[in-house]
Amino acid sequence: MGHSGHHFSRPELRLQALTHRSAGAPHNERLEFLGDALVNLMVAEALYTRWPQADEGALTRARAELVRESALAPIARTLDLGSQLTLGPGEMKSGGHRRDSILADALEALIGAIYLDAGFEACRAAVLPWFEEAMAALPPPHKVGKDAKTRLQEWVQGRQKPLPTYALLSESGEEHAKSFLVTCTLQHPALVTQGEGNSRRAAEQAAADAALRELAVD
């Protein structure tokens, strides 16, 4: 049974879903392939219903936010999948049952297994509650996943002002640990902010973020 809220009529499916390829066949990669498609569809459908006004871009960003590895792994932990995984000795030793990627894959495989075991409706009924909390915590549709540079650009464009310009002030540090310092300049209102990051892109985002804060754009 596990804590998945689904009672398997074919327990071997559940077993396979929780078997990592390091432990030999039958492992969970094919089920994971199926579960990945299912979770994308179910989350898409839930967002579509929940946000009747949101456009495709907002829906796509929100879905990406909900189904990425770092969002699936905590759900797998809530279901205590780590302790139920079958891993090869190497993965056992290196703590594979705690690794985000392995947990997220197992969760997707479990979703595939529930679907094969009981069909789409039963699968959706078991799976959607796992995402309820994360879905409720999403920011409003127009704010999901828009990065600082995009938000700043839209703010300026909305006021018909010239676009922000970004300039590299300096880069320092060794090849593998470089630090970039960038300025972001606005003409109206006149404003210059700085941002630092381990890539030029990250530094530009930080500078844009600082500008948004100065302008008190939420």
105 is in an annotated binding site: yes
Residue ranges of E strands in 61-190? 165-172, 179-186
Distances in Å between the Cα of 182 and the Cα atoms of 30, 86, 160, 163 are 45, 48, 24, 16
209 is in an annotated binding site: no
Cα–Cα distance between 114 and 97 in angstroms, integer? Answer: 21
Copy the structure tokens of residue 111.
């979703």
108 is in an annotated binding site: yes
What are the catalytic residues?
36, 108
Say if CB 187 and CB 175 are below 8 A apart.
no
Cα–Cα distance between 15 and 24 in angstroms, integer? Answer: 13
Say if CB 190 and CB 203 are below 8 A apart.
no
Binding residues for Mg(2+): 32, 105, 108
